[in-house]
């Protein structure tokens, strides 16, 4: 009987030692950052969204005043906005190229100025005229992931773009 109790005590002590060593090594690995998650499909881990920079990204126009932009079959490319270095912007609205200067202010404020465009005559220039007007009145921008929104103030969404 004494031998059985003695063996049980030794087995319990060995188990405690093994569990203690295992948990210490897991803690050590966790602190070093060289661990792999136990559950690979855990819903609590959200993928990191890439935030695109305002300057240097080609922003493809998706919507004007909440309405989708329809691309003409004759158009060479999708309408876009590109803010370049030196505070110079260029854009394409479906027919003509647009050029402007821009200023960035504290926070998410923007102002386009000195807007100019080529003067090609096209069948439907309504979206182009609206796009140019949006650039004239936009004063706020926001970027969420790969989306850029131009607004007037905080309430009026003027245009929505997606990064190319």
Residue 2 has pLDDT above 60, yes or no: yes
- Whether residue 64 is found in the same domain as residue 32: no
Q: Looking at 27-36, 72-81, 83-92, 128-137, which range is the least confident one?
A: 27-36
Instruction: Report H helices in the chain.
Output: 2-32, 126-137
List residues bridging with 156 in a β-sheet: 152
Tens-digit pLDDT profile for residues 80-99: 999 999 999 999 988 899 99
Tokens of 150: 């131009």
Residue 35 has pLDDT above 50, yes or no: no
Residue 118 belongs to domain with CATH number: 2.40.128.270
| Confidence (pLDDT) at 90 | 96
Tokens of 11: 């087995």
Backbone φ and ψ for 78, nearest 5 degrees, come out as -75, 145
Q: Which residue has the tokens 């997606």?
A: 162
pTM: 0.68
pLDDT band at 104 (very low <50, low <70, confident <90, very high): very high
Residue 75 has pLDDT above 90, yes or no: no
51 located within any domain:
no
The residue segments making up the domain with residue 1 are 1-45
pLDDT band at 125 (very low <50, low <70, confident <90, very high): confident
| Confidence (pLDDT) at 77 | 86
Mean pLDDT across the chain: 81
Residue 21 has pLDDT above 90, yes or no: no
136 located within any domain:
yes
50 located within any domain:
no
53 located within any domain:
no
Neighbour-count burial of 16, counting CB atoms closer than 10 A to its CB (0-12 exposed, 13-18 middle, 19+ buried):
exposed
């Amino acid at each position: 009987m004494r031998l059985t109790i003695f063996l049980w005590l030794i087995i319990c002590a060995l188990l405690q030692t093994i569990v203690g060593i295992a948990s210490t090594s897991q803690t050590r690995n966790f602190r070093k950052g060289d661990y792999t998650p136990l559950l690979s499909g855990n819903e609590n881990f959200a993928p990191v969204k890439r935030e695109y920079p305002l300057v240097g990204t080609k922003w493809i126009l998706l919507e004007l005043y909440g309405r989708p932009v329809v691309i003409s079959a004759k158009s060479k490319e999708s309408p876009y906005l590109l803010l370049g270095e030196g505070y110079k912007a260029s854009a394409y609205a479906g027919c003509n190229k647009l050029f402007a200067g821009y200023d960035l202010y504290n926070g998410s404020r923007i102002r386009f100025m000195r807007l100019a465009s080529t003067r090609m005559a096209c069948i439907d220039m309504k979206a182009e005229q609206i796009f140019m007007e949006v650039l004239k009145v936009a004063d706020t921008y926001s970027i969420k992931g790969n989306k850029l929104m131009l607004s007037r103030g905080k309430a009026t969404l003027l245009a929505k773009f997606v990064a190319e």
